[in-house]
Amino acid sequence: MSNNADNFCTIVEIAHRIRHDKALNSLNLEKRQINDQAAHCLAEALTTNNTLFSFNLRNNYLSDIGIELIADSLRNNTTLSNIYLNGNPSHLCDAVTTMQRLKCDMSLTNLTVQGCRIGDKGVQYLTDVFQYNKTISTINLDNNEISDNGIKYLVDVLRNNITLTTLSLGYNRITDDGEKHLVDMIQNNTTLTTLDLEGNQIEDRGAEYLADLLRNNKTLITLNLQNNRTGDIGAQHLREVLRINKTLLKFTLKGNQSTLCTKVQMEHEVALEMISTTVDWTGHQIREEKLECLSTALQTNYITIVLILDENQIGDNDMRYLVDGLLRNKTLQELSLRKNRIGDEGVKCIADVLKENMTLTTLNLSKNSIGNDGVKYLAEVLKENMTLTTLILSNNLVGDNGAKYVADIIKNNTKLTTLKLENNRIGDDGAQKLVTALNIDTTLCNILLNGNATHFCVVVEVLHQLRHGKHSMKDEEVPFLAQSLMDNKTVVELNLSSNQIRENGAQHLGNALRNNTTLTVLNLSRNQIGDAGAQKLADILQVNKTLISLQLIQNQISKRIQQELNSKDSRIAIK
């Protein structure tokens, strides 16, 4: 028969041909004003037909009754793979079309009928598919007015399914009872990884059913429960089980009746992000709620050892949320809070943590608003804390009073090895306090002080590095030190031996000595100053009467110049 049915053919005649014409494989009855009565006649004929593979009934007058008659006639039919029903008044058209296509094509893996309002009856027809198709891995029945009865039809056929991985039932009419049917089915399922129940009517009881499921389930990795009716009780059940479930990777609960639901979701997201040894949340603009969730996660986290919270506008009040988590955490070793809004009160919270925490070794608080009082809080706690080895306070508001507290840290703490204080407000008085403390310190290997209110800080830094063998001064670095010496009122002995200072560096040091009235001993032995550099330094001694010892031993100085300088000034030691 041709694609367009002959106009004179009556439905009865067409039904007769469907029954008896073994060559009939395609039939087009689009826009033929076929109603439910005519569908009855066609359905009886289709019951015995096994040759037709394409049947077009688009744009007729078939209601649910007529479509149900057609669907019932095809229950055992596996040859009619293409039946076209769209354009009819019934909501079941898509369900029946999909059912028949999946029954006939055993390789199809996706069953999707969205927004068609197929209802429970449509689901019942779709379940026939599973008698034939054993390959379906994805079912999407979103927005179809499916109730608990429809869910029961579905789970009855899926109970023994071993191929399904994704089940989406969003925006239907599923209540706690329907969810109970699903939970009973999933308990014995080992393939389902994604369950989407967004936009249904699930309340606290349903949430409890899911919590019981998640307690032992090791397969689900995605669960969407947002925009339901879950309250505080249901949220709490889910919260407790998520702390022990280690397989669920994506969990959505926001948009429910309880605000706790949003918090439970955020806690889970934070906990998942912290399964790495290094967690970097730089620039995430973290707010109070997430900080509180982070604190909760830290209390039971045994993986993360580096936590970076830089550039998040975290202020003093925000630090209160982190305290509990940091106090109870036993694994975190490095904490970075660089470039936030932490002031002295925020540092007080951190100091409270350091009183109890025995694992944190590195603390970065650079580029905040920490002043003298903040350093005082740290100084008090670091008298006792013996685990912190690196403290970074660069680019803050630390002045001379703060430097006094830093000196206390240096004198009292025997574990700190690195202290960074660049670009603060430390002046001569503060630098002097640091010098005094560093003269007795034996553990602090690295201190950075450049960019403060006095050049003397640079002298302190360089001298300390030289003392600990952390630095070998090159010729091009000498001018900066020399500039600091011009303003020096404290350093009386300067040992720059065994470096890489040459003639140019010697000249800069000489210029500094022209104005310096404090330095009494300058040791430049074992450098590369040479004849010209040595002569320039010797000439300065004619002006500088404070220096009593200038040591130039092993500096590539010729014997002639050595003799000349020895005879010129007894303060020069050159051999």
pLDDT at residue 484 in the model: 73
pLDDT at residue 97 in the model: 92
pLDDT at residue 463 in the model: 73
| pLDDT above 70 (res 1) | no
- CA dist 111 and 277 (Å) reads 41
Written as one letter, the residue type at 480 is F
pLDDT at residue 9 in the model: 58
252 sits in which H/E element: strand 250-252
Q: Tell me the two tokens of residue 562.
A: 């050595």
Q: What angle do CA 296, 300, 302 make, to 5 degrees?
A: 130
Place of tokens 């579905």: 154
Strand pairing partners for 166? Answer: 138, 194
| pLDDT above 80 (res 440) | no
Place of tokens 């500096």: 555
- CA within 13 Å, CB half, 173: 11
| Longest pairwise C-alpha distance within the chain | 136
Residues 445-488: pLDDT tens digits? 889 998 998 877 877 887 777 666 556 778 887 887 887 777 66
- CA dist 524 and 510 (Å) reads 12
Q: Tell me the two tokens of residue 352.
A: 């409270």
Residues 38-52: pLDDT tens digits? 999 999 999 999 999
Residues 395-437: pLDDT tens digits? 999 999 999 999 999 999 999 999 999 999 999 899 989 988 8
DSSP sequence for 197-226:
-TTS---HHHHHHHHHHHHH--S--EEE--
Query: At 25, phi and psi to the nearest 5?
Result: -125, -10
Contacts of 150 (CB under 8 A, 6+ apart): 119, 120, 122, 123, 124, 172, 178
Mean pLDDT of 156-164: 91
Q: Does the domain spanning 479-575 belong to CATH 3.80.10.10? A: yes
- CA dist 469 and 482 (Å) reads 20
| pLDDT above 50 (res 220) | yes
Q: Tell me the two tokens of residue 417.
A: 């090895």
- CA dist 126 and 111 (Å) reads 9
Residues 19-33: pLDDT tens digits? 999 999 999 999 999
Query: At 280, phi and psi to the nearest 5?
Result: -115, 105
Q: If you ran DSSP here, which 8-state letter would residue 115 be given? A: S
User: Binning pLDDT at 50, 70 and 90, where does residue 150 land?
Assistant: very high
Domain pair 1-90 / 479-575, same fold: yes
Closest CA to 144 of 165, 122, 119: 119
CATH number of 1-90: 3.80.10.10
Residues 292-349: pLDDT tens digits? 999 989 998 889 999 999 999 999 999 999 999 999 999 999 999 999 999 999 999 9
User: Binning pLDDT at 50, 70 and 90, where does residue 132 land?
Assistant: confident
Place of tokens 């947002």: 226
Please give the mean pLDDT across all residues of the chain: 91
Closest CA to 443 of 409, 415, 469: 415
User: For the chain, what are the domain ranges?
Assistant: 1-90, 479-575
Q: Tell me the two tokens of residue 414.
A: 């025997």
- CA dist 152 and 360 (Å) reads 54
Residues 515-571: pLDDT tens digits? 888 899 999 999 999 999 999 999 999 999 999 999 999 999 999 999 999 888 999
- CA dist 513 and 507 (Å) reads 10
Q: How far is CA 129 from the centre of its chain?
A: 42
Considering only 102-116, 243-257, 512-526, which range has the smallest mean pLDDT? 102-116
Contacts of 218 (CB under 8 A, 6+ apart): 247
Burial of 285-301, coded b for 16+ CB within 10 Å and e otherwise, reads ebeeebbbbbbbbbeeb
User: Binning pLDDT at 50, 70 and 90, where does residue 209 land?
Assistant: very high
